[in-house]
Structure 1
Amino acid sequence: MSLGLSGRLTRATIRSPLTPLMLLAAIMVGLLAIMTIPREEEPQISVPMVDLMVAAPGLSASDAVELIGKPLETIVKSVDGVEHVYTQAEDDGVMVTARFLVGSDPDDAAIRINERLSANMDKLPQGIQPPQVTVRGISDVPIVVLTLSPKAGARGDWNEQALRSLAARLRTEVAKVDNVGLTFITGGQEEQLRVVPDPARLAAHGVSLGALMDAVGQANRSFPLGTVREGGAATAVVAGQTVRSAEQLATITVRAANGNPVYLRDVATVTQGPGEDQARAWRWARGAGDRWSMAPAVSLAIAKRSGANAVNVSDAVVARVEALRGSLIPPGVEVAVTRNYGESANEKANELIFHLGLATVSIVILIGFAIGWREAGVTAVVIPTTILLTMFASNIMGFTINRVSLFALIFSIGILVDDAIVMIENIARHWAMADGRSRIDATVDAVAEVGNPTIIATLTVVAALLPMLFVSGLMGPYMAPIPINASAAMLFSFFVAVIIAPWLMVRFARDTLAQGAHDHAGGGKLGALYGRVAIRVIRDRKSARNFLIAVGAATLVACSMFYFKAVTVKLLPFDNKSEVQLVLDMPEGTSLETTGRTLDAAAAVVRQIPEARSMEAYAGTSAPFNFNGLVRHYFLRNRPEMGDLMVTLAPKGERDRSSHAIALDLRQRLKKALPLPAGGSIKVVETPPGPPVLATLLAEIYGPDEATRRKTAAQVEALFCTVPYVVDVDNSFGVPRPRLRLIPDRARMDAYGISERQLFDSIGALLGGQTVGYAPRGDGRDPLPIRIALDQSQRSWSADLAATPVATMGPGGRLVQLGEIVDAREEAGSPALFRRNGRAADMVTAELAGEYEAPIYGIFAVDDAIEAFDWKAHGMEKPVVRFNGQPDDEQVPTLLWDGEWEITWVTFRDMGAAFMVALLGIYVLVVGQFRNFKIPLVILTPIPLTLVGIVLGHMLFGAPFTATSMIGFIALAGIIVRNSILLVDFINHAKGEGKPLRDTLLEAGMIRFKPIVLTAAAAMIGAATILTDPIFQGLAISLLFGLASSTLLTVLVIPAIYIVLRDDGREGTLSP
């Protein structure tokens, strides 16, 4: 017998003293990898987004696009690595966002953008401020959020300003922790020195607003002038002084009239305290007896440095906070950890490692009962060794321990043990022959007998998995650990199976196995059972043909279940998280107080949810963002009409409902109990299970002009609302906020000698406020901003404001009233404008909830509504519907489906292509093994049979067919082909003995049935441990049910094909 590669490796290592050292080395490097590899909850997907924000004072949204947006788009689009360019414009400002290719380095992205901007600033209009460039990536997402709020007995001692001051000091301490990245504070009010001018008193004392601003600014200046020398010593000279208190600031002189000084306190109110109430944050917490309490709050968000271990960083941060209790953190303040992704990552990792161990133990027990307990002991060494080697390789390749990489290992357990099972079972069978060979010779022969088909079978699994590595878009790096880790596990498993397993068998399985249990001619009880069934299938060509027709029909019926929606499809199902976010958008111009009251009303609805534990409300500012918020730019939500409500749920082990079921319930409750004004919306946002998108259902409307786009988008939005399972419908243009335009009277200004800059600075200080300096407070305390502004209650165009004095440049510095040189005019603001890749578009967004939750069903339903709607009767042209790619002709109204659909079709398209490549690779490998072009076709035939079990399993569990289900289907191609190869290889060897074809087929099936069933059972056990995970349930169902159906059918289908194609007409002599 030719030994081949497998036999030669076994012969070379079975007596070698290096073999146990290799085993020990494999275990050591694997344990080292486990201790050093970073832990994350999800794969860290690098999608750098560079924001270029430009202020465009006085420009409408359309003007801002023409003057600033389009030139910036041209510059940014020319940068290497930029995949998409988005432009959002509104009155007085524009933002251009460059989204780089997945996997790009954020720092490199920022450098490229800055370099290209510096080289092309001449292409921007003169007088426009340079863009503010901000780059954000996955490492900027906070992993820990600390929320500070006063305890019940101390609420009178702690206001929002005091909480923010404490948060700032705590931030300094937390920053000392190793590998802490960016930190920021949300909520609360900064302490400041506020100067509130009184227009009436300014006029009475003859003081202009400009004079007041100059006096305050000059009074807070201090600078070095040089040195003086006296007595051989040099003394530094410093001129001026710095303001340190409100009392000191109030006494500065702003004007001297007739020898009488006019102090700042005479014309303005000077106070030290909280800044303007531009944003608010407060917290609700459930206490004893389900009683809820509310208190002001401030959140401190903490990110980690790129590549750092999230578990270690979060543990160190929490430990630092605990150490500061009683010292920096007073007893009256509660510091709640409202987000801890390190803890959730560690919890998920430990849970999956437990499942990993459970799967290993279950497979060992299976081998113990099926073959023998000493062989089970060998398996108990082989599996952990292979896993540890895979962890080492994963660490070397830069992967982290996360839910996807661990699922890859759990998924791999069932198939990585296949090689070892085949080897161990065949070694045991050869030992049971008792034909006079030595134990070592029989072992080498046993390995050599199944070695070559095992190599090909292993490579077929790798060939099935590796093409998935080339899935493009956001899902590519998200799923990358599965093909890489599983392929590495398969390759390591082969070498462990032919080197370590035989060595262990010889050392520890010295006694013959249950005498007679391994009859090489029969295959034991399982073989006999197989024979009784198979003989009915292959007794004649008609029976075999009828069986194949029945199996084919069952496969077609299974496929039809997708068409009839008995099994739905979705990219990824929602995970079971411990947080849900409510995103509130009130009509533009809504006050902060109204937004806060609406959030309180939403909180009242949430309090009815028994699983809710706490809430953090943010009005006029955004909650600390997650990866979803990073992509959707939630961190820019800083207007009075915007609010967030972060809902923390009970741990999933303490509740019966999933977070998705709670979100569905909450959405229905809010719809009934929280009426919103026109233009307002509240969305229930769940943490996406995979790569985030702007919205699940997103329609981009293109057209020849703004009016056409807007009208078409409004109608599409109305059609969205007709679909019952399409919810949270919104649009990108909203309701424009009103504007008050102050128009200077240039003739009067020229007559009075007043410059526009002087005028606009005065108005800006009154209405928008102006910071003119900072008052230092010594070590450990932040400087106080000195800010001049009217109270918010006074910021309306009134007679008092119009009476504000402005100094003229004439003799004596005569004062004129502001109302004399400006005219006030109300006008409508511009709606927001959106552009993608240089094309103007309006967007309609929505989520899906209820009967169908995949975008494909919402798309079909809306498309049907578009077809049914009478567009001509309403004076509109029906839009052309596109499923991919922006339109080339923008003169025709076009609807482009985007959002989750874009990721879905790209993912399934690439997976389909990967499946085709996998089939081709498998075919080439099998052709190389059998030197035949037809036999590989027979071997590939059982692949579609997996669909019978896959569809049935998804129907039984009521689960959608997801991207992970597709991964399971593709992986099954390699696994099933592996079983087919082992069966066909045995058939080919037996055919050479001249036996009747039926005897050959029966004998091959009866002998190989046991190892085939064992390998399938091992893979099914590995899959069963992840059935409860919401995201990877589809993968588990595909493997569990697909293996069950295809394994049982494969061992019958292949013999039936042989009978139909090559029946020799001779009666068999074997009986089962």
Structure 2
Amino acid sequence: MILADVSIRRPVFATMMIVALVVLGLTSFLRLNIDLFPQVDFPFVVVGTVYPGASAEAVENDVTKKIEDAVNSIQGLEDIQSSSREGYSQVVLRFELEMDGKEKAQDVREKMSTHRSDLPQDIEEPVIQRFDPAESPIMSLAIAGDRSPRELTQIAKDKVKKRLESKRGVGAVDLVGGFEREIQVDVDIEKLAAYELSPFDIQNSIAAQNLEVPGGKINEGGTEFLVKTMGRFDDLNQLRNLVVATPEGQFVRLADVATVTDGVEESKSLSRLTGRRAVSLNIKKQSGGNTVDVANLVYAELEQLRKEIPEDVSLIVAQDNSVFTRDAVHDVEVAMLYGSILAVLVIFLFLADLRSTIISAIAIPTSIIATFTFMNALGFTLNFMTLLGLSLAVGLLIDDAIVVIENIYRHIEMGKPAKLAAAAATSEIGLAVTATTFSIVVVFLPVAYMKGIVGRFFYSFGMTVAFSVLVSLFVAFTLTPMLSSRWLKREQSRKGTRNPIYMATNAWNGLFGAINRRYSGILKWALGHRVITLLVATVAFIGGMMLYPLIGFEFMPQSDQSQAFVAIETAPGTRLEVSEEIVGKLEQIIRSHAEVTDVFSVIGGESSPINKGTMTIKLIPKDERDMTVAEFVQELRTELKQVPGVRTSIAVEAGHEGGEAPVAYSVTGDQEERVTRYTEALEAIVRNTPGAVDINNTLSRGTPELRINVDRNKIADLGLNMLQIGSAVRLLVEGDVVSRYKDIDDEYDIRLRVKETQRNIGSSLRNFLIPSSKEVEGIDDFQVPLSRVASIEKWGGPAEKTRFNRKREYRVLANVEGRFSGNVRQDVEAGYADIDMLPGYDIAPVGEGNYQKEAFNYIFESLILAIIFIYLLLASQFNHFLDPLSIMVSLPLSLVGAFLGLLAFGSSISIISLIGVIMLMGLVTKNAILLIDFTKQARARGLSRTEALLQSGPIRFRPIMMTTASMVFGVLPLALGLGPGAELRAPIARVVIGGLISSTALTLVVVPVVYTIFDDIAQWFGGSRRKDQELEKAADAV
């Protein structure tokens, strides 16, 4: 081996190479950001449009469908999902993952700009945003106190929000549940009628007399002056004294017909913390920012802000995702440390030599630190996926060093000088070690390049493992032989020593020697009874496969993050105050549990109606509770159902609404009536499925509506149109922003509306006067009451209208209790297969179910590619077509232990555990490679096949057991499932441990037997079978 020879001859050069890797790695480590998950770019674009006062049907017909038509032709568009509710339209565009999200967002903006004239003039400008998971809030603050909502909003906006937005790394701070200042002009329509005025006269007067009009420039004496007519209100009394009419020379002022109030806008959302009204702030980090660093900066600023705001106002951190991120990352680091220590102890136990142990142990920190260089170069962060890869690699990183140093140690025991032993041993084992390392690399490359959303998340995981084991190979061929050539020497026998450590290692080595001798006997018997050996292996494999149906499956294991989420929904049309009262009852129940520390509730919002909300429940840390968060959720679910007037859905993870429930299905088609019928049939199936709870659907529940049916002939005769009628009604009911009031540097809306006591269905609405361009018979002053041109009726309109790919869509949603979500979905899908549906109508899983189906397909594709790559690698190494097959027989044998490991710990088959299966494919081939490679070397030295196998097995037994034990103990801390986020990490470690144990036990016997069978086949086709048998007999006779 050139690398090893150079390193042995030039130790300083070898040392400097490793030091350079470490220095670069440490420098890169300091530059790595910390996040919970990798930064992934999703080419999803969201178009949100506010249409004030419009019903769900009007929003869908006038806004949503037109946006869908406008963007449908954009290249790469996969699907369109839309929802329309009162006053708001949301269209979500999902493009092919290969597309650039920024470019697609720009394409959408161009299309919207082109088709803007197709949309109603009175909508607010559509907001077009890219969906970026990294832009989700990392923290939520609550400002509470015994002050008016306006005062709390002012403190939150002017002090807290502005200060936090100026901090480095903070991307945005969004205000939720605030009460913005608003100047309200409430007109009295009876007084207006007495002066023969309409609200439109007031509207025009305010708009025309609250202006600053530029007048150009004047040059005088060499100086240029800007001319500006100052007409803005700078005092509310000026607004009150505004002259709005002069009938018969008399001044009619605004105060004569209206009340001007310095108030707050009508709230469409509210926040509560531990039972008190609050104003909340959602803090987002900048793209690519460090979650933990940003959170630390925010905490430091909050300490200063608490000293500056009034003492009776509380500034509380309601939610902080950085805590779980920090704890989860720390827990993985601890698991890596413990795994490294256990792996090193395994080496010492086998070799009973401190110097050999130290040399091998150096490979772990060196490889991990050097890997940070590649991570930084590729733009990775320290997150759950990359750290999971490094923690799993702990056992791998020492493998190459173990195999090399064990072989060097064996050569030294044979009496060779240290330098000669290091060179010869590394050369002897070099090709096999290279092949075993690349067997790991080739199984992780398909993982890194998986397609789909899951592939984006696992890219950094696969590349991190691949780079780390390549670095460990470099260390094994440079630092390990160099140090061994100078530090190792033949140890004197410690027989009779009284040192307890060496007494323990001597006892273990004595026991291990006996096990090795026993293995030699078993191997010799197996080679003489090949059929029985294969039959036992086949039975073991079939038995392992029979365990598969006993294991549950799901997309991702649920993690205990010491929090739970409740989605609430009251009846459509419920007032905000009523929703708040119901939330108060729910909070009281939740806070009665000793495990609860805080309850943070949010009702309504810009993209959510006031009858829907979410409650975030913070629990005491996991290690201080007697129950898991899943058990807490199960207990609380029954209690919350007792509160009338509200539908609740409680889960460990957020996102019940919008198809993110564990069980979620979409029903689509053209005719709404049929889609509704199929949805109801599907819901009945879900309700009868064991494990499904909190069952809900998105079928439209009627929202109370007043429909004003206008007679087109009558308004045409009066010179009116639908826009004038609609504008008049909106002015009456919701009011209209007619101008802006400036107070120092801030501006606030001036809203004109009819006073609240006159906003009713009775005479006020019917008698509301609308200006006409023609004289109305029996009525003076060209004004017509609404009742003359329209009828008013009560109606129950839909609360929300949803579509998918421009078809009507409804969804059935459910949480899961007592079973794995994949098993529940399996039963549901078996049930709805019997629904007789017409062509053009479809039921399909969405959310987690869809992701699981897609991810499992891609993982199995990666598994097949990994197996193919392993074969190509082994065929290239051994220059043989059949030898790799004898090695690869260990692959299916590993599944026996993998399934046993999952079943024993109660884990599920998920994308995490399936990645463990792929990892196993590379791990188990390593042991077989060591065995077969040494056998082929022995045969090349003139030994017969049987002699070579019987010699190679016992010789390779120790390094095989050492690498297996180091890997098992290296990932054991992960498998125990302790600490925050452990539920996500544990399954992969349990698969690896179970699979390695079963595969190693069977591989040591089965692989040699299969090798002889394939060798017989090769020799049969080579025409030399008889000659080889004669050589075998001659050898046995000797």
TM-score in terms of structure 2 length: 0.90
Matches of 1:129 and 1:614 in 2, distance apart? 37
Paired position in structure 2 for 1:884: none
Matches of 1:47 and 1:1016 in 2, distance apart? 39
**What's the offset of the Cα at 1:370?**
1.9
Deviation readout 1:1013-1047 (Å, 9 max, x if unpaired):
11111111221121211012110101112111211
Paired position in structure 2 for 1:532: 518
Paired position in structure 1 for 2:949: 1001
The 1:688/1:990 distance shift into structure 2, 3 A limit, reads farther
Deviation readout 1:900-930 (Å, 9 max, x if unpaired):
2221122111111111111111111111122
Alignment partner for residue 553 of structure 1, among 519, 525, 539? 539
Look up the SS of the partner of 2:814 in the other structure: strand
Q: Residue 361 of structure 2 contacts residue 398 of structure 2 at CA under 8 Å; is this kept in 1? A: no
- Residues 448-467 of structure 1 aligned to structure 2 (within 5 Å): 448-467=427-446
Q: Which moved more, 1:67-76 or 1:173-182?
A: 67-76
Identity across the alignment (%): 26
**What's the offset of the Cα at 1:489?**
0.9
The 1:742/1:165 distance shift into structure 2, 3 A limit, reads same
Equivalent AA in structure 2 for residue 568 of structure 1: G
**What's the offset of the Cα at 1:68?**
5.6
Equivalent AA in structure 2 for residue 166 of structure 1: I
- Residues 642-721 of structure 1 aligned to structure 2 (within 5 Å): 642-671=612-641, 673-676=642-645, 681-687=647-653, 694-703=660-669, 705-721=671-687
Paired position in structure 2 for 1:980: 928
Q: Which moved more, 1:81-90 or 1:1005-1014?
A: 81-90
Q: Residue 196 of structure 1 contacts residue 788 of structure 1 at CA under 8 Å; is this kept in 2? A: yes
Paired position in structure 2 for 1:225: 215
**What's the offset of the Cα at 1:393?**
0.4
Q: Show structure 1 runs of 5+ residues with no match.
A: 1-6, 285-293, 622-634, 869-876, 881-888
The 1:582/1:513 distance shift into structure 2, 3 A limit, reads farther
Matches of 1:791 and 1:943 in 2, distance apart? 78
Whether 2:994 is the aligned partner of 1:1041: answer yes
Look up the SS of the partner of 1:80 in the other structure: coil
**What's the offset of the Cα at 1:109?**
2.6
Paired position in structure 2 for 1:636: 607
- Residues 361-760 of structure 1 aligned to structure 2 (within 5 Å): 361-371=341-351, 372-435=353-416, 438-510=417-489, 512=491, 526-539=512-525, 543-563=529-549, 566-621=550-605, 636-637=607-608, 639-671=609-641, 673-676=642-645, 681-687=647-653, 694-703=660-669, 705-745=671-711, 749=715, 756-760=722-726
Q: Residue 19 of structure 1 contacts residue 503 of structure 1 at CA under 8 Å; is this kept in 2? A: yes
Q: CA RMSD in A?
A: 3.1
**What's the offset of the Cα at 1:124?**
7.4
Paired residue total: 1001
Equivalent AA in structure 2 for residue 531 of structure 1: R
- Residues 904-915 of structure 1 aligned to structure 2 (within 5 Å): 904-915=852-863
Matches of 1:608 and 1:45 in 2, distance apart? 40
Q: Residue 996 of structure 1 contacts residue 1066 of structure 1 at CA under 8 Å; is this kept in 2? A: no
Matches of 1:252 and 1:661 in 2, distance apart? 64
Alignment partner for residue 215 of structure 1, among 205, 208, 219? 205
**What's the offset of the Cα at 1:784?**
2.5
Q: Show structure 2 runs of 5+ residues with no match.
A: 496-501, 503-507, 1017-1028
Whether 2:32 is the aligned partner of 1:37: answer yes
Q: Residue 412 of structure 2 contacts residue 490 of structure 2 at CA under 8 Å; is this kept in 1? A: no
Q: Which moved more, 1:318-327 or 1:487-496?
A: 318-327
Paired position in structure 2 for 1:243: 233
**What's the offset of the Cα at 1:353?**
1.5
Alignment partner for residue 811 of structure 2, among 828, 840, 843? 843
- Residues 792-811 of structure 1 aligned to structure 2 (within 5 Å): 795-809=759-773
The 1:1069/1:165 distance shift into structure 2, 3 A limit, reads farther
**What's the offset of the Cα at 1:664?**
2.5
Paired position in structure 2 for 1:883: none
**What's the offset of the Cα at 1:652?**
2.6
Alignment partner for residue 737 of structure 2, among 766, 771, 793? 771
**What's the offset of the Cα at 1:429?**
1.1
**What's the offset of the Cα at 1:716?**
1.4
The 1:33/1:446 distance shift into structure 2, 3 A limit, reads same
Matches of 1:605 and 1:92 in 2, distance apart? 33
Look up the SS of the partner of 1:588 in the other structure: coil
**What's the offset of the Cα at 1:361?**
2.0
Q: Which moved more, 1:567-576 or 1:730-739?
A: 730-739
Paired position in structure 2 for 1:1014: 962
Equivalent AA in structure 1 for residue 626 of structure 2: D
The 1:445/1:416 distance shift into structure 2, 3 A limit, reads same
Paired position in structure 1 for 2:304: 323
Q: Residue 915 of structure 2 contacts residue 988 of structure 2 at CA under 8 Å; is this kept in 1? A: yes
Paired position in structure 2 for 1:872: none
- Residues 843-882 of structure 1 aligned to structure 2 (within 5 Å): 843-850=811-818, 852-855=819-822, 857-866=823-832, 878-879=836-837
Equivalent AA in structure 1 for residue 988 of structure 2: L
- Residues 53-68 of structure 1 aligned to structure 2 (within 5 Å): 53=48
Q: Residue 526 of structure 1 contacts residue 1009 of structure 1 at CA under 8 Å; is this kept in 2? A: no
Q: Which moved more, 1:354-363 or 1:491-500?
A: 354-363
TM-score in terms of structure 1 length: 0.88
Look up the SS of the partner of 2:35 in the other structure: coil
Equivalent AA in structure 2 for residue 853 of structure 1: F
Q: Residue 999 of structure 1 contacts residue 1069 of structure 1 at CA under 8 Å; is this kept in 2? A: no
**What's the offset of the Cα at 1:443?**
0.6
Equivalent AA in structure 2 for residue 168 of structure 1: K
Q: Residue 689 of structure 1 contacts residue 1031 of structure 1 at CA under 8 Å; is this kept in 2? A: no
The 1:278/1:234 distance shift into structure 2, 3 A limit, reads same
**What's the offset of the Cα at 1:731?**
1.9
Alignment partner for residue 318 of structure 2, among 334, 338, 359? 338
The 1:1046/1:334 distance shift into structure 2, 3 A limit, reads same
Q: Residue 418 of structure 2 contacts residue 488 of structure 2 at CA under 8 Å; is this kept in 1? A: no
Matches of 2:108 and 2:334 in 1, distance apart? 46
Whether 2:2 is the aligned partner of 1:13: answer no
Paired position in structure 1 for 2:498: none
Q: Residue 531 of structure 1 contacts residue 1005 of structure 1 at CA under 8 Å; is this kept in 2? A: no
Whether 2:909 is the aligned partner of 1:956: answer no
Look up the SS of the partner of 1:145 in the other structure: strand
The 1:864/1:382 distance shift into structure 2, 3 A limit, reads closer
Matches of 2:658 and 2:37 in 1, distance apart? 12
Deviation readout 1:166-186 (Å, 9 max, x if unpaired):
111111111111121122100
Q: Residue 49 of structure 2 contacts residue 88 of structure 2 at CA under 8 Å; is this kept in 1? A: yes
Matches of 1:805 and 1:1057 in 2, distance apart? 96
The 1:147/1:603 distance shift into structure 2, 3 A limit, reads same
Q: Which moved more, 1:375-384 or 1:743-752?
A: 743-752
Look up the SS of the partner of 1:47 in the other structure: coil
Matches of 2:143 and 2:987 in 1, distance apart? 41
The 1:126/1:177 distance shift into structure 2, 3 A limit, reads closer
Equivalent AA in structure 2 for residue 39 of structure 1: I
Whether 2:154 is the aligned partner of 1:165: answer yes
**What's the offset of the Cα at 1:300?**
0.9
Q: Residue 713 of structure 1 contacts residue 843 of structure 1 at CA under 8 Å; is this kept in 2? A: yes
Look up the SS of the partner of 1:823 in the other structure: strand
Look up the SS of the partner of 1:776 in the other structure: strand
- Residues 921-960 of structure 1 aligned to structure 2 (within 5 Å): 921-960=869-908
